[in-house]
Amino acid sequence: MKKLIVIFTILNIGLCSAQTRFTRQQLINDADTLYQAINEIHPNPYYQYSKKDFDREFNELKHNLRDSMTSMDFYNLITPLVAKLNDGHTNITPYASRSQEQKLFPFRINISDKHEIFVIDSYGKTKLPKGTQITYINGKNSKDIIKELLRYIFGETDYFKKNYLQLKFSDYYANTYGYSSFKIGYIDEQGKSRNMDTNGVDTDVVEKALGSLLSFEKTLDLTLDETNKIAILSFNSCDIPVEFAQDFFKTSFDSINKMGIEYLIIDARFNGGGTDLVGNDLLMYISDVPFKQYDGTDTKISYQLAKSHPWYQNNEAIWDRLRKEGPFIIPKEEEDRYFLDPYPDSVRFHGKKFLLTGFLNFSAATDFSWAFWKFGLGTVIGEETGGLGHSFGASLNSVLPNTRLKYNVSNKLFYNYKADKNSVHGVKPDIEIPYEEALDYTINAIKNGKL
């Protein structure tokens, strides 16, 4: 289960804001709290970035802390260091949101492999043609901006970080640079360098546009096309009550089978994860063979986990070992990861199955997608998932004592089915196309007899 576990109640929420200023010692205490949590809770935080380098940079960071810094000042200093651990489930988030007066960069962008910026669309009245290259923003070279902002993205791979930044560029630019108006340099359609001045747009304008792009309002939804015998199951989150998901899937597959549906499209492009139990129930309706999502996990047993998790709170053997050894790891070899049987033939779906994926497919959603892929349940269409086959998760979360910044730390290392230490990649689509086009492509290909 790659679900966040709350380990402390968040108190005094209203005591801090983005403008609250802290003493240097308060900030040092927060940095030490986060450092201790990472080292005590995480199974192997330095699997990609060495502890020697992390400790050196951590000490430099503490040296650079000063009196009268805000929570955002602290966030901007410590986030790039934590992000170097390359674990999307180990992260830190700002306590306070931006002010209402803050305006956002008015274009949706694409980032090339060379860190060049190209316009995809406009959020406001100021327009530039699609594909226009932006060369600088407010006097700063675009490549330097991308290099800087990538330091703030939590994730396992450069692929995920780049894609996530281009989706959320306006937010990250505002958090880091703070401008509300923009002097933009660009190359016009004749290849000439131009510049323009424009104001930013309101946050809700960007959120509305991205909401339309991601195109879902419900965590689970079913659309039936009786004429073409197509069902589209929108699987947008695993972070929902298991009982709700079970009722939804039961009702959905009853309707799918009664209508004689022949093609099932599972749209998991925007599913950011939650609990694997939701994915298990869906797999029971579409798998013809016993299955499992994981071969096992390495679990770090820390005092924080033992205090918070009902499995360990009253386990005397766990507490005795903690008192004797301190935090320890239960390896995957000591787990019993058994295969699950699918539901009976009478309730399962037996037609053609298609799974849509993209970089926003993460955590428990990737575990579901990995099982779909490895058990050969159907055709995967879209882009590689953001989550990996061998990755950390099941975060414990809390807040830092002074700045009240929220943080998460992984306490498990997951080995998905047939994954090993070399499986540092996501689910690879059978048909690779831009994730935004995956649904339309699949529907049209089915109608035209190509799938």
For the chain, domain boundaries:
107-201
Domain 107-201 has CATH 2.30.42.10: yes
Residue 16 banded pLDDT, cuts 50, 70, 90: low
Per the structure block, which two tokens stand in for 236?
């947008």
193-214 pLDDT per residue, tens: 999 999 999 999 998 888 777 6
H or E, element range at 195: strand 193-199
**32 CB-near residues (< 8 Å, 6+ apart):** none
Q: Residue written as tokens 């958090």?
A: 175
The pLDDT score that the predictor gives to residue 17 is 57
Q: 């139990």: which residue's tokens?
A: 277
- Please count the CA atoms within 13 angstroms of the CA of 119 that sit on its side-chain side: 25
| Confidence at residue 10, expressed as pLDDT on a 0 to 100 scale | 31
Give 238-265 pLDDT, tens digit per residue.
999 999 999 999 999 999 999 999 999 9
Structure tokens at 239: 């972070």
Q: CB count, 10 Å around CB of 323?
A: 9
Q: Which residue has the tokens 């998932």?
A: 385
Which pLDDT value is given to residue 19?
A: 73
The pLDDT of residue 11 is 30
Q: How many Å separate Cα 200 from the centre of its chain? A: 27
| Rounded distance between C-alpha atoms, residue 169 and residue 149, angstroms | 8
Evaluate whether 167 touches 110 at the Cβ level (below 8 Å).
no
Task: Give pLDDT tens digits for 137-164.
Answer: 999 999 999 999 999 999 999 999 999 9
Q: For residues 25 and 67, give the distance between their C-alpha atoms in angstroms, rounded to a whole number.
A: 8
- Given a cut of 60, whether residue 12 has pLDDT beyond it is no
Instruction: Give this prediction's pTM.
Output: 0.89
Amino acid at 443: I
Largest alpha-carbon pair distance within the chain? Answer: 74
| Alpha carbons 160 and 88: distance in angstroms, whole number | 10
Q: Which of 106-120, 358-372, 417-431 has the lowest mean pLDDT?
A: 417-431
Residues in a beta bridge with 69 = 22
Question: CA 164, CA 214: separation in Å to the nearest integer?
Answer: 13
Q: Over range 167-184, report the average pLDDT.
A: 93
Tokens read off for 77: 């200093």
